[in-house]
Structure formats: C-alpha cells, structure tokens
Chain A
C-alpha cells in the first residue's frame, strides 16, 4: 500500500505520541544523568559541579550494598514463586481432572493482583503486627512461642516479610498467564506422550516447559526488571527500615533525594537503576517480534 504523501501522513499520526514519549520518557533520563554530575537540592539554591564524584560514592556506599542484596531477595523469591510455583500450579490446573474447577481456582488466585500494592502492603503490615495481626495467633495455634516474633520489626526477617507479601499478590497473575499459553499447546502432543507412557511429571518437563520457553523467558525478564524497580511494597510496609535493613535501590534513591535533599547523589542512583533495567530491557525486546509484516 504505497500512497502519495504516506510519509507525511505517517508523521501526523505518530507525532503526538512521539512528543509525549520523548519529552516525558527519554528527556528525563538524559537530564537525570546531567543532574547526577552536580551537587544540588530541591530546598537549596546551591548548584555545584562535582563531576563523577557521586558515582564513586555509589561504589563505596554500604547502603547501596544492602539495597542490592534486598533487590536480589526480590529477584530470587519472585522468580521462584512467579515462574516456578506458578508454572507448576498452572500445569496442575490444566490437567484433565481439574478442568471443571479450573476457572474457580484461577479467579481466586488472580484476585490479589488486582489490589493496589499499597493495599497489600498495609494489609500484610497489619497481619504481621504482633499486637493486632493474625500471623502470631496462627503460629501460636501450631505451638510456636511468638513473644519475639515481629517480622517487620526485625532487621533479619523484614525484607522476607515484604517479599512474601509481594509473592502472595502476584503468583496468581502468572498462573493465569501461563494457563493461556498452555492452552495453545495442542492436546495431541500430550495424548501421544501419554500413549508412549510418559508420566505427568515427564510431560511437564519434556513438553510443557520446552514449548513455553519463550513465554517463560519474557516473563522472567519482566519479573526480574520489576524486582529491580521495586518501590511500593517497601515504601508502604517498612519505609526502608528497621534502620536501613529493607532499603532497595528505588526506595533508597527516594530517601536520598526527597528526604535528605541530596538530589545529585539520588540522580546517580537513579542512573544506576536505569542501566540495570535498560540492559534487562534489551533482552526483553529481543523476545518480541518487531519484524515489519
């Protein structure tokens, strides 16, 4: 379809979205890099060139190490639950004897992913609370002495408590997604394997997983990216505490920039987040079919 003036028409349609994207998505990244080379704050008028000083500071900052560790906790738990556990659950729900109940389970598992992370965060914060929560009474039912159990109050357990809330919320999301992907696998393949005597577990590892390789990869990247960006859960549940025990890259940059008013250093952290997520994004793009027809 080659029409005269095709190019001009194309740009008229493209322009609004392009302008918005370039101004509000790309420009901020460039400005962010420039901002990271200055010492500045939202509350002060002093602006001083510092070059790459903040990047050096970033390398030596202990809290960055804590944050990276916490982001890693999120990466590991999210991949384990939202890929591993979800795949198993969706494969089980797809098995013939469960088909009649599949949509009921699916709907129940999916509902938490509709909530605001804020809502999940506050709910779990309250569930974990030693005074008003439900977790300690439940543990007591099993005979656990809960006088010292305070998940979010303890620097060792807090990040796991936050990550657990996030898994509770999003496991069902990928279950639904994987079920949709599994439904496109032809029943014939499974039947042939069954005739050949393959057990359910064998069929899962030799048919389902290999045929869903692309879906699994894309979601793995999306999930890892999300874990690097994580902000809401931590901000709502612990605000980085106790101390700095649950700080992630995103909450730390918020804290440094908007609470301590060290905008220059916060911009350097933001650029660091950009680099990690950008590289992950390149892998995600490779997974999408961008060919021109």
Chain B
C-alpha cells in the first residue's frame, strides 16, 4: 500500500514536469494562431478563429527566405563535415603509420576550441578570403567546427569493423580506395546517418556565426532571421510565434522518424560505460 502511494506520487511529479515542458510549446503553437488583440487580452483562451494567415504572413515576411538559406547552409555544412570526417577517420582507425597519435590529438583537440574565442579572427579572415556574407563561408566555418566530433564518432565505429575484411580484399588485389568505398563506407551507413543528424542539429540551430558572418537579409539563416524579425516587428508577436513554429518543425520531424540514429549520435560522445 505504501509502495502504491509513493508510485502515484512519483507519477504525479513526472506528469507535472511533463506539463511544465509542454506548456510553453503549446502556448507557442496556439499563439501562432491568434490575433494580437487576443494575445494581449485573453492569454488563457483558445484562438476564436484559427488564423492560418499568421503562418503565411510569417513565411512571406522573410521566414521563407531564411528557411531556404538555412536549408542550403545546413545541408552544405553537414555534407562537408561528414564527408571530410569519413575520410580522416579512415587512416586514423585502420592504417598503421607513425605520427598517427599526433593527428588524432590535433583533430580531437578541435573539440576544446570554443567558437566564441575564434569568432573575431574568423570574422576578419572571412573578409580577407572573400567568405564574408556568403553561403560558402557559413558552410566551411560551421562545418569546420563539426569535423572533430564527427571524426571521433566515425573513427570509433570504423575500429569495430573487422580488419579481416580489408585484408582479404587486399589479398584479392583491391586498392585502398576500393576498400574504403566498397567495404568501409557501406558498412558505416548507420554511424554516418547519426553523425549527419548531430551536425544538422548543431548547424540548423547555430546563431553566433550567422550573426557575425552574414550581413544581407537575403542570406540570413532562420536563427538570426528570427532575432531580427522580433526586433523589427515588435507589435506583431503572433507572426513571430508562427515563424518560430515553422523553424522548429524540421528537426522535430527528423527526430520522430530517425529517433534511433538521433539517440545514437548524441550518446556516442556523452556515454561512457
């Protein structure tokens, strides 16, 4: 009996906690459907009329363009960092050579470098290299910061692929290139997916570099676009809310459909047995 009461109490706390988590999300979505007057005067009520227009207006007022920019930047950055990590992880896990340890340290050492401490130099460098206010600059710079972790993930996975697979391929006369593309990469699809998802999440949400490296409104990504949007349309909060819902949908969809890969990616760097 005593046990049952404590179970009910625990459950109640968990439900309360879930409620605290959900409330701001529901409020955000509902406000996205309200009029500004309703937002100010009737915080508790459901919208009288569900205003889809807020979403359409938000999209047309700039979210559409920011969304496109975010997709381009994130896709480019994710592809670049994942591909380079797939290459780099290969010799680090499967070829024996001197100085390997040094290269492992250089790559993983990148994890210790805060983007915040590089942002001023990168701002200056991007202007010199012609990468300022461009998709390419955002892709390379945000991508570069993803490479250390991506290499770490993929390297750990490569190590678990049996070496005898490579050896028998070499005996059959295969070249390293063939072993890499025909054996290692196909076997590594799960970790490549996880890795891409983790990078996608990080770059999609990235604010600081977007703030510093992008100048023209036509190139801005969603996070910085939303911040400016909020400053420019202080009166139109419901449209800002609608814009934020649009910005959140892609990752939530990716998570719901690829939960397994998602969790694998996030736990690989943070769980130690």
Q: Is B144 an interface residue (CB 8 A)?
A: yes
Q: Are A18 and B247 in contact (CB under 8 A)?
A: no
State the Cβ distance, B182 to closest chain A Cβ, in Å.
15
Chain A: residues with Cβ within 8 Å of the partner, total of: 100
Majority DSSP secondary structure for residues of B touching A:
helix
Count: A-B pairs, CB below 8 Å: 292
Give the distance in Å from the alpha carbon of A109 to the alpha carbon of B270 in the complex: 18
Given contacts A3-B95, A20-B144, A131-B40, contact A29 B118 (CB under 8 A): yes
Chain B: residues with Cβ within 8 Å of the partner, total of: 102
Q: Are B121 and A119 in contact (CB under 8 A)?
A: no
Enumerate B196-236 residues with CB–CB distance to A below 8 Å. Answer: 201, 204-205, 207-208, 211-212, 222-224, 226-227, 230
One of A17, A25, A122 near B226 (C-beta < 8 A) = A122
State the Cβ distance, A258 to closest chain B Cβ, in Å.
7
Q: Is A77 an interface residue (CB 8 A)?
A: no
Give the distance in Å from the alpha carbon of A105 to the alpha carbon of B13 in the complex: 12
Q: Are B248 and A114 in contact (CB under 8 A)?
A: yes
Majority DSSP secondary structure for residues of A touching B:
helix
Give the distance in Å from the alpha carbon of A35 to the alpha carbon of B125 in the complex: 12
One of A1, A25, A176 near B166 (C-beta < 8 A) = A1
Q: Is B22 an interface residue (CB 8 A)?
A: yes
Enumerate A265-293 residues with CB–CB distance to B below 8 Å. Answer: 266-267, 270-271, 273-274, 277-278, 280-282, 284-285, 287-288, 290, 292-293
Give the chain B neighbours of A114 by CB distance below 8 A: 201, 248, 251-252, 255
Q: Is B18 an interface residue (CB 8 A)?
A: yes
State the Cβ distance, A83 to closest chain B Cβ, in Å.
12
One of B39, B125, B163 near A1 (C-beta < 8 A) = B163
One of A2, A13, A98, A284 near B96 (C-beta < 8 A) = A2
Give the distance in Å from the alpha carbon of A26 to the alpha carbon of B40 in the complex: 50
- Using CB atoms and an 8 Å cutoff, list the residues of chain A in contact with chain B: 1-3, 6-7, 9-11, 13-14, 16-18, 20-29, 31-32, 35, 42, 89, 92-93, 97-98, 105, 108-112, 114-119, 122-124, 126-127, 131-134, 137, 168, 172-174, 176-177, 180-181, 184, 214-215, 218-219, 222, 225, 228-229, 231-232, 235-236, 249-250, 253-254, 257-258, 263, 266-267, 270-271, 273-274, 277-278, 280-282, 284-285, 287-288, 290, 292-293
Write 29 A-B pairs (CB below 8 A) sorted by A numbering: A3-B176, A13-B95, A16-B84, A17-B88, A21-B107, A22-B106, A24-B125, A26-B110, A27-B125, A28-B125, A42-B123, A42-B124, A108-B21, A114-B255, A168-B24, A174-B270, A176-B267, A180-B271, A181-B267, A184-B273, A214-B272, A222-B270, A236-B227, A253-B120, A254-B212, A271-B117, A277-B113, A278-B113, A290-B105
